[in-house]
Structure 1
Amino acid sequence: MSWIKEFPQLSRSQLLEIRKTLDGAYREFSREYGEVIESFFDPLLAFLIWFEKLLLATPWWLMIAILLTITHVAARSIKLTVGVGVALFLIGYFGMWEDTMRTLSIITICTLLAVGMGVPIGIVMARSNRVQSVITPILDIMQTMPAFVYLIPVVMLLGIGKIPGLIAVIIYAIPPVIRLTNLGIRLVDREVLEASDAFGASSWLKLWRVQLPLAMPNIMAGINQTIMMALAMVVIASMIGVKGLGQPVLKSITNQYFTLGLLNGLAIVVLAIIFDRVSQAYAQRSQQHLGGRHD
């Protein structure tokens, strides 16, 4: 293994100097523009706080009724609706309702923002090979970067709180919806596109009436994966002040509270299963509707 010693590399002093330069530059940037960037996110923070308070102030029985209505409208499955109702009741029965509502609020906002940014980016990627070649390596880095690394620049810039946690969750969870939107649009049959061209459809009309509806199963799969990854980030985001089911899990790790961690972990699993089953059922119904079959 003597060849390892001969490998050309920077000296320790040079490497230390580069690190100091980069750390100093980012520190100066955060001091100079941190408050401006933080004020930019103030409306989002206000909305997030309002939405969380709304969920917490809503009576539990009304909240369960709303969630069951959404589940039934999306899935049209009695078994799934009953299962969701039982799961939510057990979450409240074991004293995890408030933390579940806090987690539900941030996951909902993160998912909406990730979809709102991810789908347009995926559309642009599908319409341009050059854009795809630029964005794909960025997505590769985002998906392979350890989740804890996302917290470092965000916390240095914005401190500890809801917004840094939300940004870290979005960065971690957005790649699937971008990739699958791009894939779904690219997989649309060329003959269908040629037929729409023959009828004189513009590029935007073709996108909204042909490509997006046919790509919807892939887009829904991307949304599903984004939700799952956002839920997976809940515990890590709790380290920088995001309240919810992640904080009791983190507390159980540091204090060895086995039951506390197990119950809150199972609550996160229950939320993941609910989101997964409902989104999959909705995607299947949408595909059946496109195929001309009705439930």
Structure 2
Amino acid sequence: MEILINELSLDGSFEKLADFYDSLGEILKIQKLMQSSNATFSKHHQLYTFKVTNDMSLHDAFRDKRSRSNNKIRRFKQLLYSLMSDPSFWHEDQRHKDTDQYTCQFTSETNGYSLAEACERDKVVLSFENASFTDSILEIKKNGEVIDLINIQEPLLLCDLLYEKSLIDARVYCNHRFNGTNLSFEHLEEGFDFNILEEDEEKAFISSFKMFSEMSWSAILKSDGLDFKKYQPSKKDNWFLNTPYTNKQIYKFRTSQRFRCFGYREEDLFIVLRFERDHTISDNG
């Protein structure tokens, strides 16, 4: 999948350069997610000239020396450098024709801009933070016919899209999709993970994880559907005996009538360890 950087979202809308830097946190997450997939960026050949503030271009923001000692700003400048240098220019293989008319509310131009080119590629663009580009779908008309473009501004939308198109596997998806929620997949054990699941089973687990991540712990503990409870087997039946988690209080919850998820809780975070496709282990504890 190819994502075109939307240069029109750089229209000088930031009052201060510091505001622009602050907005790049989400773009940085998107870039890291892209690095976990086979998706690529392409850009307008003059992207670096587009305005961040009224008097500073993207290139100026990269070269600005006032914040050179700030580690966060240095990371953002590395991001800017990669966006200006690494992606290819779509002009080298332009697919929209100059004889066609691409119209939208964002520009008076009828061709030669990335939204027009995206219509002839994978119909996905990346926009910088901009009040004009908050919608997840952007409408472009090609010779009067409506084309919808997916507009990426935050990592969750991209994460779902990459997973839907099988450009990232379920583990990568969960690591990104549930980062910052009440679920962690960093310690999910090999041999008890997504690799043991069929495709429909994988979808069932992920659907339950989405529900779990949106619930408070009070709601989780009261949920009859999740049936979140302690795993309390006899010593001989303990699935986690002689593992690094022997002394942890293990919990389990349902992801369907047959499927179970096991792990342990650290304050408000549930550390996912193992999946079970039937409830034979669960029946013994």
Name the TM-score, length of structure 1 as normaliser: 0.20
Q: Select the structure that is richer in helix.
A: 1
Whose strand fraction is larger, Structure 1's or Structure 2's?
A: 2
- TM-score normalized with structure 2 length: 0.20
